Each structure stands twice: as structure tokens, then as C-alpha cells.
């Protein structure tokens, strides 16, 4: 890989009255070879850039909250990209082949809101239709960071048209963009045929020092370089300021050399205000092949403020009225004007975008109209979040088997059955597919790689954090991704899981090795608190099937989601496959909890999930044999159960039956809601241990004798006196 150093054509970082200086009459040899034509900055360019800067100052000041400095410093970068390069139609912001712009530095949200406003982007409503209203109006900007506004503190997907992904937690947007770039490569292989091009978009990501410090960005960058994603461009705002002060306090590496080691092309622009240098750098990206591109841009945070590296600008505070007046004066802007948007500024950016995108959009629609019916139907369903008509055909059926099968194994069989009918279902593991059983093994599944982007088996390497965020990026690009690793390593994936829930993305996170059933691997690999953490996440489905047939039913539930991510939690150890002629149909799992078997008027209810269901069933059988009216409930999903109406919930857990026992090899938190304060809990109140499974079950009370004994105690304690 190589570095291109785009030196500033005007050597300055000091404040200038002309923030976009005139450019020289010639450009260097590299610029000519890449086809870049000299472009002299105009008064209109300067006006647009200063509009972005002053809107950021005014919005943050009015809200008395926010980050004005980064939008001020990056205004020339955002404007240059949008006005000269971004393929984006303001009237069709949902165009599938648009370039993606990801603001990984989500605290600089006013930069994105200002660009969307100046571009005249049209709102797409909740039904996917153009409303005719602006995506971001001037009134929306005036409501920055206020309740129910379309301009929240950090950009939020689904809330504001034009926001490609929810950003804020640093590094997440970077990794999302890798997923978007991977998705484009897969979509191009799937849909571009015989000279017809439906997908060839680029992904641009604006990132900062914080992104570069977060480990997830390193994971994502390493994978992007390995996959040679030359449709991906990260623009790194090298302003050398973080909240605690100068980045030299904690950050001294050579970022350019780091990315070259990852296999990226690198370009260095030493003045963020030099529009021609920025344009040369972006044209270099467009010309590069075989690797993603990092453009390092040296900027001054809060550019134009009389106080260099203004403390408020750097630390996310309003500049203050006096500072704003002085800064506007430095821009040649009316000092007393607030939220001033000249008509010419709106026209300049919008016209540039439309002029570039309109012929491409028209050509794209012509290509779409000429698609064969199969591809046209696939694309329509992918965009709508729908499954193919026959997606549940040819599913396996698991016969009763006392020895049983691990739910990771039955889950792999089920996944392969579904995937053969859902071409855009793809995924992989964090280097664990032989253990998680998530390889797609049917003919044609293939392996996604730099040599073949059509494959559906993804190899994320040992990069759990990036894996989750990359999957989110793919879900934002019409695909249905799944990931897999051990449940204990969901710790490494909490941020992207949480963001998938916030964004309502139907990503499927598969977690195996779900309990102390891991055995000899010991406490470091035995999940305890993890189910509680997942269940505590709003909008997330946690699905823990009790046997192979429940696994099938819960995969159906996960795949049927359109606005909700799912965690499918599976066992390593074999689980008996229940005889459904004796016990209730596994279809009840789709309601979150159901009565497997038992008396109409039970004296005691046994509740279990996952690998502990078979133990609860065994206890039920013994109690029944002793003449005790017991009932056993499988509860694979709290969230699905809570979605049911009160009548159904009461039919499964009758309020009159106070004697209850829960059995789950996980922490106790939350089970009081189902068993009551006085209910018995056979759960984990400590970390596990390294030993064979049978010894662990005996040590921690997961035995038939203990469960039966606690059930009898519950009956005794709850008998009327």
C-alpha cells in the first residue's frame, strides 16, 4: 500500500478571512493521472461552509448543549464530499444505490443535520413514502437536542431521513460502514449481470481521534483491509483534541502506518480548509483499487474561533454569545444573525447533488425495470424486509429421542434449511463455526472473501465486537445477517447488540455454550449473568430453546422479525428431544412460554428454559408418579411471553398457584416476577467451576432430587392453614 501526501496549497492553519482560498492553476502529476480536474473555490462554496459552521454554533447555543467544534472544523470536508463526490439524490434518499455517508463521530451531528438541510433532502415517512416535507427543516435545527425533535444529540436511524445508522458510541459507525461495504460487494455479485449494474455504491465514513482509539475500529479496519474493500473510504479528522485535552496524553501512534499495515491506501491532507487538496484526496480514493482508503485530514476544532482549540468547542459546550459574535465576524458573517441560511446556500448544494445523481438515478431505474422476475422479486422483498414465499419449506422434524442432540447442532441443521430458501441470509462466527455449528454447508453457499464476494459464509476472525457492528451495517443494507460465538463472549458484543435494538434491526445473534454445561472449560467460559444482561435490553428477543423442536420454532420467530433483533441461545451438551405425542407441541414456544404438560389445577408449577427443561420434565414426571398435581412450563423467551395478552399469561402461570420452582443455569435476577418472592430458584448464585458436567450439576443443585424436594417444599409452604 502507499501514502499520498496532499500538501496544502496555502500553508496556513491560522484564521483567514477567506476560509476557502483560491487554488493554483495546476495540480500535481498524481491528480492528473487520477482524472481530477482543477476546481477553484467559489464564493458560493465559502457561503455554504460558513452556513454549516454558523448553524452548528447557533443550534448548540440555543440548546445550551452539544458539540460545535467538530462541525465547525469539518464543514469544508463534509461540504466537499457532498457537493463534489457523493452520489445521493435529495428527492430519493432511499435509492438503494446511493453512496452511504456515515458520521461515526456522532457528537458532530450538527454537521450532518446542516448538510441534510442544505441539500434539501426529502423526508421518507414510516411507510416508506416521500412525505414532501424536508428531512431536516430549519425549525428542526432550532429544536436541536429537544424532546421528539428530528435532530437528537446523536444521529438516530429511523428518526431522521438521511441518517444511515445510529452513531455516538465511538467506533460503531466505522464498523457499520465495513458491513455496508461488504453488503455492496455481495449485492453487486448477486444482482449485477450481463452489463446491468444495480449496485456499485461507495461508503464514506467520517471518524475522529476517539474512533481511532477504540478497539472496535481496529478490528473493523483489519477486516476491511483483509477483504480489500476498495469501495470504503474513512476520513479521519485528525484534530488532536479529546475531552481531557491534547491527544498526546494517551495517543502517540502513527495512524497512517497502522492503516498501511492493515493493507489500506492512505492519503494525508494537511489543511482541512483546502478544498482542492480534499478533492484530490477523494479522487484518489475513487481511482484506487484493491484496498480501502484512509484519508487523514488535519483540522482545527472550532475553526474560526478567536481562541484556538476553544475549550468549549473541544469539550462539547456552547461557545457563548460573545465568542459566537467574534467568530461570525471572522467569517465575514452578520454578527447578529441567528440561524441564517442564505437561499443561495440551499441551492448550491442541492443543485450539485441533483445534477450528479439525476442521470444515474434514471439509469438505475431503467436497469431495475429490465430485471428478470426472480431478481426483481428478491430485491423488492429485501427492501421491504419480507421473506421469500417458500421460506419455511423443507424444514426438518426431530423425532423423540431420550439421548437427544445439542441445540447448537439442531440449530445448525435448522439454519441450513432456512438459508437454502432465503438467499440473502448470510453470516458466520468469530472463528468458532465448528463449535457453534453455523456454517452453511449446502452447495453454492460459498465463502465470502476478497476473491469471491458472492459467498454467504462470513469469517469474522476473533473480532466479536466488530462482528456485531458489521452485521448491523449489513442489516442496514437489506441483508439478513447472523453472527455466532459463545454466550460468555456476548460481553464483547453488548454495544452492537444494544444498537441493533435501538435501530430495530432484525440481526440474529447466535450464542452457544449457554451454561455451566460447558463443563471443564471452567468459570471463564461458563455464562452466568449473560441471560440477565440480554433480557434487560429493551427491544431485544432472547430465545433459549429447550430441545430441537423448540429450536426450529424459535428460529422461525427470529427470521420473521422485521424490527427486532434476536439472540438465539443454544447448548453444547445434548438435550433430550421431547416426545410431542406426550407433551405439548413445540409451536407453543413462539408465545414465549407454554404448558408442556400437567394437571388442570396444579399444586406446583415447574418453570425452566433451555437445557434445564428436560430436568424440569423429569421432576414433573416423578411428582406426577407420586400423585402430586404438578405442571411443567417451558419459558424460552420472557419477551415473547410478555407480548401475550393477560388471559394467555394467566393460563400458563395461574395467579392462584403460588407454589413455583424455576430451574435455569444462570443468575437469579428477574425470576421473582414469575415465581414470586417466596418461589424457589434453582439457579446460579456464583460463578461456575472446572469439572465434568455431572459433577457441576450436583455441586450447584441441578439434580432431580433437589428440584423435586423444592417443589414439595413449595407445596407445603403454600397450603392454606
Please state the residue numbers annotated as binding site for thiamine diphosphate: 107, 168-170, 210, 239, 315, 489
DSSP 468-480: HHHHHHHHTTT-E
Sign of the Cα torsion 470, 471, 472, 477 reads positive
Which cell goes with 300? 482545527
Nearest Cα to 31, choosing from 265, 279, 266? Answer: 279
Question: 446 CB contacts (<8 Å, ≥6 apart)?
Answer: 452, 454, 455, 456, 457
CA 86 to each of CA 14, 203, 284, 376: distance values in angstroms, whole numbers, following the listed order: 29, 9, 14, 26
548-560 vs 407-419: helix crossing angle, rounded to 10: 40
CA distance 97 to 84: 17
Percent of the chain as helix, strand, coil, to the nearest 5: 45, 15, 40
CA distance 357 to 335: 36
If you search the block for the grid coordinates 467506533, which residue do you land on? 171
Could you list the residues known to form a binding site for Mg(2+), using ranges. 209, 239, 241
Q: How many CB atoms lie within 10 A of CB 496?
A: 30
Helix or strand or coil: residue 204?
Answer: strand
* SS3 annotation, 182-193: HHHHHHHHHHCE
If you search the block for the grid coordinates 459552521, which residue do you land on? 53
What is the enclosing helix (H) or strand (E) of 3? strand 3-6
Our CA dihedral for 713, 717, 719, 721, rounded to 10 degrees, sits at 140
What is the enclosing helix (H) or strand (E) of 261? helix 255-262
* Residue 369 burial (10 A CB sphere; 0-12, 13-18, 19+): exposed
Nearest Cα to 132, choosing from 144, 145, 123? Answer: 123
CA 621 to each of CA 14, 43, 240, 262, 606: distance values in angstroms, whole numbers, following the listed order: 81, 83, 67, 59, 11
Is 100 within 8 Å of 88 (Cβ atoms)? Answer: no
Parallel/antiparallel/unpaired status of strands 508-512 and 480-486 = parallel
Helix or strand or coil: residue 294?
Answer: strand
Parallel/antiparallel/unpaired status of strands 566-569 and 541-543 = parallel
Which cell goes with 667? 443468575
CA distance 275 to 301: 17
Which cell goes with 156? 438516530
69-84 vs 109-119: helix crossing angle, rounded to 10: 40
Provide the annotated active-site residues.
Answer: 464
If you search the block for the grid coordinates 448543549, which residue do you land on? 65
Helix or strand or coil: residue 578?
Answer: coil
Amino acid at each position: 500500500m502507499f501514502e499520498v501526501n496532499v500538501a496544502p496549497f496555502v500553508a496556513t492553519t491560522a484564521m483567514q478571512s477567506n476560509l476557502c482560498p483560491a487554488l493554483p492553476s495546476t495540480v500535481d502529476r498524481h491528480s492528473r493521472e487520477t482524472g481530477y480536474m482543477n476546481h477553484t473555490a467559489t464564493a458560493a462554496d465559502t457561503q455554504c461552509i460558513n452556513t454549516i459552521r454558523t448553524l452548528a454554533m447557533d443550534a448548540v447555543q440555543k440548546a445550551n448543549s452539544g458539540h460545535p467544534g467538530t462541525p465547525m472544523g469539518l464543514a469544508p470536508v463534509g461540504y466537499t464530499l457532498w457537493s463534489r463526490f457523493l452520489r445521493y439524490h435529495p428527492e430519493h434518499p432511499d435509492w438503494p444505490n446511493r453512496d452511504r455517508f456515515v458520521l461515526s463521530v456522532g457528537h458532530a451531528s450538527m454537521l450532518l443535520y446542516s448538510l441534510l438541510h442544505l441539500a434539501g433532502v426529502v423526508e421518507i415517512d414510516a411507510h416508506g413514502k416521500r412525505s414532501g416535507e424536508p428531512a431536516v427543516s430549519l425549525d428542526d435545527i432550532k429544536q436541536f437536542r429537544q424532546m421528539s425533535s428530528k435532530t437528537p444529540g446523536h444521529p438516530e436511524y429511523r428518526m431522521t431521513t438521511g441518517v444511515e445508522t445510529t452513531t455516538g458510541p465511538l467506533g460503531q459507525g466505522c464498523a457499520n460502514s465495513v458491513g455496508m461495504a461488504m453488503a455492496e460487494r455481495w449485492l453487486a455479485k448477486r444482482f449485477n449481470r450481463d452489463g446491468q449494474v444495480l449496485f456499485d455504491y461507495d461508503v464514506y465514513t467520517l471518524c475522529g481521534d476517539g474512533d481511532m482509539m477504540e478497539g472496535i475500529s481496529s478490528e473493523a479496519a483489519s477486516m476491511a483491509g483483509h477483504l480489500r474493500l476498495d469501495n470504503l473510504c474513512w476520513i479521519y479528522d485528525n484534530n488532536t483534541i479529546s475531552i481531557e485535552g491534547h491527544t498526546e496524553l494517551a495517543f502517540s501512534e502513527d495512524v497512517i502506518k497502522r492503516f498501511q499495515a492493515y493493507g489500506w491506501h492512505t492519503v494525508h491532507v494537511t489543511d482541512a480548509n483546502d478544498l482542492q487538496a480534499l478533492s484530490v484526496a477523494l479522487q484518489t480514493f475513487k481511482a484506487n483499487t484493491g484496498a480501502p482508503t484512509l484519508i487523514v485530514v488535519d483540522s482545527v476544532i472550532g475553526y474560526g474561533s478567536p481562541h484556538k482549540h476553544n475549550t468549549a468547542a473541544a469539550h462539547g459546550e456552547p461557545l457563548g454569545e460573545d465568542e459566537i459574535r467574534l467568530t461570525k465576524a471572522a467569517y465575514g458573517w452578520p454578527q447578529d444573525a441567528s440561524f441564517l441560511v442564505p437561499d443561495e446556500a440551499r441551492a448550491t448544494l442541492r443543485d450539485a447533488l441533483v445534477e450528479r445523481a439525476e442521470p444515474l438515478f434514471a439509469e438505475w431505474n431503467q436497469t431495475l425495470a429490465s430485471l428478470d422476475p426472480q431478481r426483481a422479486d428478491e430485491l423488492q422483498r429485501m427492501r421491504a424486509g419480507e421473506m421469500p414465499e417458500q421460506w419455511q419449506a423443507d424444514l426438518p422434524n426431530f423425532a423423540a429421542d431420550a439421548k437427544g442432540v445439542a441445540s447448537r447442532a439442531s440449530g445448525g441443521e435448522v439454519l441450513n434449511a432456512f438459508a437454502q430458501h432465503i438467499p440473502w441470509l448470510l453470516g458466520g462466527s468469530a472463528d468458532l463455526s465448528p463449535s457453534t455449528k453455523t456454517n452453511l454447508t449446502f452447495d453454492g453457499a460459498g465463502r465470502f472473501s476478497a476473491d469471491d464476494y458472492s459467498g454467504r459464509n462470513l469469517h469474522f476472525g476473533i473480532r466479536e465486537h466488530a462482528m456485531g457492528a458489521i452485521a448491523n451495517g449489513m442489516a442496514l443494507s437489506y441483508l439478513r445477517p447472523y453472527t455466532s460465538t459463545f454466550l460468555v463472549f456476548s460481553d464483547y458484543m453488548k454495544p452492537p447488540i444494544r444498537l441493533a435494538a435501538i435501530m430495530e434491526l432484525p440481526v440474529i445473534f447466535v450464542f452457544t455454550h449457554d451454561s455451566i454445561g460447558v463443563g471443564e472449560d471452567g468459570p471463564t467460559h461458563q455464562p452466568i449473568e449473560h441471560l440477565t444482561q440480554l433480557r434487560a435490553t429493551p427491544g431485544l428477543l432472547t430465545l433459549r430453546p429447550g430441545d430441537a423442536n423448540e429450536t426450529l420454532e424459535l428460529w422461525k420467530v427470529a427470521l420473521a422479525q422485521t424490527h427486532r433483533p434476536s439472540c438465539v441461545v443454544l447448548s453444547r451438551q445434548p438435550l433430550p428431544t421431547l416426545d410431542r405425542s406426550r407433551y405439548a407441541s413445540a409451536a407453543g414456544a413462539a408465545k414465549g412460554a407454554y404448558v408442556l404438560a400437567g394437571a388442570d389445577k396444579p399444586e406446583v408449577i415447574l418453570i425452566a428454559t433451555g437445557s434445564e427443561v428436560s430436568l424440569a420434565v423429569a421432576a414433573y414426571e416423578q411428582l406426577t408418579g407420586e400423585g402430586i398435581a404438578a405442571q411443567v412450563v417451558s419459558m424460552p423467551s420472557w419477551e415473547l411471553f410478555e407480548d401475550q395478552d393477560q388471559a394467555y399469561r394467566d393460563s400458563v402461570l395461574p395467579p392462584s398457584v403460588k407454589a413455583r420452582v424455576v430451574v435455569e443455569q444462570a443468575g437469579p435476577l428477574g425470576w421473582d416476577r414469575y415465581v414470586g418472592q417466596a418461589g424457589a430458584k434453582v439457579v446460579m448464585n456464583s460463578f461456575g467451576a472446572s469439572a465434568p458436567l455431572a459433577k457441576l450439576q450436583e455441586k450447584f443443585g441441578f439434580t432431580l432430587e433437589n428440584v423435586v424436594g423444592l417443589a414439595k417444599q413449595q407445596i407445603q409452604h403454600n397450603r392454606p392453614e
